[in-house]
A and B are shown apart, each in its own frame.
Chain A
């Protein structure tokens, strides 16, 4: 199973399957970290701390959108996005986030 498929399975089971309703905070945080870690390896692509913007673009293409130093890529679920935060042009942190825009 690809990492993208694993991430999608987690999303379906946990969020849309309703598991989240009975999970405690630590379990939810664990799911979040699993998704975040999977994201850093989606389809075998390693996005690691310290990579340059050009290296990220070469690896996974242009972002869907940027807000300041944070780049957002779409996921299989419309409200969730993969985010890459840069600091002085180098990857500082990756995450898996909701993005609500007004």
Chain B
């Protein structure tokens, strides 16, 4: 068993009835189960930590993951207002931190039953980043700025100053799971990850409309000329 406090942790995530419904669905989701089982079956220990009101640098945070050491530590703040008001945001944060955990355990536990495609990266291990990796926008290497804007986007709890620390492929995995949970439970709403995806990939202006109108006018002119 690679988790410390698993039962206490899962119970601690359920601070409202809607959170309870979403968490139950999350832990039965096929994609999330692959992630959770990979972590659970790895010999490296992950301490699961519920921290209501988690505050770092004066900002209340969604959660976090501490890795690279002897044990991992996965931290969730279930009472952050965004988590209470939208239980899908809580599921989003849990998946996000689990992505960090999988990356942390990859060297210890290898690629057997590895739950991700190879294009999922976290900011600190992304081979496409050229300068020293950092999620602080003002410290990012100028060579990386476009890449970080296009493939990462804003951090959740401090979007003005920080980049989010998992890439677009990881964010799309979260979106896929959240969409399924929303359909299953009828609870909650789209999360900041959806908003981030839309900001990174704004819908193109509807060129089809204008081209269609133009063609229609040409057709009318043609008909008028013929008649």
Tell whether, in the assembled complex, residue B69 and residue A102 are in contact, meaning their CB atoms are under 8 Å apart.
Answer: no
Q: Roughly how many angstroms separate A71 CA and B206 CA in the complex, as a whole number? A: 53
Distance between A94 CB and nearest chain B CB, rounded to angstroms:
9
Say whether B139 faces chain A, with CB atoms less than 8 Å apart. Answer: yes
Q: Roughly how many angstroms separate A65 CA and B134 CA in the complex, as a whole number? A: 18
Q: Mark A35-47, 1 if CB is under 8 A from B, else 0.
A: 0100000000000
Q: Roughly how many angstroms separate A68 CA and B5 CA in the complex, as a whole number? A: 14
Q: Roughly how many angstroms separate A81 CA and B57 CA in the complex, as a whole number? A: 14
Tell whether, in the assembled complex, residue A97 and residue B107 are in contact, meaning their CB atoms are under 8 Å apart.
Answer: no
Which of A78, A96, A99 lies in contact with B134, CB distance below 8 A? A78
Q: Roughly how many angstroms separate A36 CA and B69 CA in the complex, as a whole number? A: 8
CB interface residues, B 55-77, toward A, < 8 Å: 56-57, 61-71, 73, 75
Distance between A39 CB and nearest chain B CB, rounded to angstroms:
10
Tell whether, in the assembled complex, residue A100 and residue B108 are in contact, meaning their CB atoms are under 8 Å apart.
Answer: no
Knowing A25-B107, A65-B57, say if A100 contacts B65 (CB, 8 Å): yes
Distance between A101 CB and nearest chain B CB, rounded to angstroms:
4
Tell whether, in the assembled complex, residue A102 and residue B134 are in contact, meaning their CB atoms are under 8 Å apart.
Answer: no
CB interface residues, A 88-102, toward B, < 8 Å: 93, 95-102
Distance between B80 CB and nearest chain A CB, rounded to angstroms:
10
Tell whether, in the assembled complex, residue B97 and residue A98 are in contact, meaning their CB atoms are under 8 Å apart.
Answer: no
Say whether A2 faces chain B, with CB atoms less than 8 Å apart. Answer: no
Say whether A79 faces chain B, with CB atoms less than 8 Å apart. Answer: yes
Tell whether, in the assembled complex, residue A97 and residue B68 are in contact, meaning their CB atoms are under 8 Å apart.
Answer: yes
Say whether B122 faces chain A, with CB atoms less than 8 Å apart. Answer: yes
Say whether A70 faces chain B, with CB atoms less than 8 Å apart. Answer: yes
Say whether B93 faces chain A, with CB atoms less than 8 Å apart. Answer: yes
Tell whether, in the assembled complex, residue B134 and residue A97 are in contact, meaning their CB atoms are under 8 Å apart.
Answer: no
| Chain A hits for B164, CB < 8 A | 102
Which of B56, B69, B133 lies in contact with A95, CB distance below 8 A? B69
Tell whether, in the assembled complex, residue A68 and residue B49 are in contact, meaning their CB atoms are under 8 Å apart.
Answer: yes
Tell whether, in the assembled complex, residue A67 and residue B54 are in contact, meaning their CB atoms are under 8 Å apart.
Answer: yes
Say whether B25 faces chain A, with CB atoms less than 8 Å apart. Answer: no
Which of A25, A32, A95, A102 lies in contact with B96, CB distance below 8 A? A102
Tell whether, in the assembled complex, residue A100 and residue B134 are in contact, meaning their CB atoms are under 8 Å apart.
Answer: no
Say whether B136 faces chain A, with CB atoms less than 8 Å apart. Answer: yes
Tell whether, in the assembled complex, residue A78 and residue B136 are in contact, meaning their CB atoms are under 8 Å apart.
Answer: yes
Distance between A92 CB and nearest chain B CB, rounded to angstroms:
11
Tell whether, in the assembled complex, residue A70 and residue B73 are in contact, meaning their CB atoms are under 8 Å apart.
Answer: yes
Which of B68, B108, B139 lies in contact with A98, CB distance below 8 A? B68
List chain B positions with a Cβ less than 8 A from chain A.
49, 51, 54, 56-57, 61-71, 73, 75, 93, 96-97, 100, 104, 107-108, 122, 124, 132-136, 139, 155-157, 164-165
| List of 7 A-B pairs having minimum Cβ-Cβ separation, nearest first | A95-B69, A97-B69, A101-B64, A98-B68, A102-B62, A97-B66, A99-B66
- The contact sample of 19 A-B pairs, CB cut-off 8 A, is A32-B68, A32-B70, A67-B49, A67-B73, A67-B75, A68-B51, A70-B73, A78-B136, A80-B68, A83-B66, A97-B68, A98-B68, A98-B104, A100-B65, A100-B135, A101-B157, A102-B62, A102-B63, A102-B155
